[in-house]
Amino acid sequence: MTRKLRTAADRVNDKHEWFLRIAEVVATRSSCARRAVGAVIVDEVGYILSTGYNGPARGQPNCTETPCAGAHAAPGTELDACIAIHAEVNAIAQARSIKEARALYCSVSPCVACAKILSNLPNLKRVFFRELYATPQAIQHLQAVGIRSFLVKGQRQYAEVKVVEGEIRQVAVAPDDVD
């Protein structure tokens, strides 16, 4: 039996794409009926400090088995009816040293409540995500405190996301401008 050797095409060369793929795998642990979200927090070297996914607190029933009151609400609405703790919050709660956090990778951009929490992390500089959340307030908040937000569209394909005159704008950026 011959073994097929891996080639350069088999490797994910883009660290941001790689971390987002990890966040997407982490999201598969979610027990939220509404949406599965995963988060990965890394330090300045690129070591993973923690991961988190959304779901109810310990001891509460999983929403995938017993949907909560917010399970059928539209994205960005009725957040108080949802019992899930967000992926970003769970990742922060599980981090060994949150002061070392430099970047957050999340399958979906943060909501405004998570953006407020993230803005209190003293060394967080960048947030990367695959999908934009329903409302622009979170991006606007991160922008106001100097945390850059990036939509990752694929390997070495990024758009910096900003709020200009109340609307979300995406500006393509070169890979070197992301790091």
CB burial of residue 107 (10 Å; 0-12, 13-18, 19+): buried
Write out the H or E segment, with its range, that includes residue 108: strand 103-108
Closest CA to 55 of 42, 71, 40, 41: 71
Q: Which residues of 123-144 are buried (b: 16+ CB within 10 A; e: fewer)?
A: ebebbbbbebbeebbbbbbbbe
Task: Tell me the catalytic residues.
Answer: 88
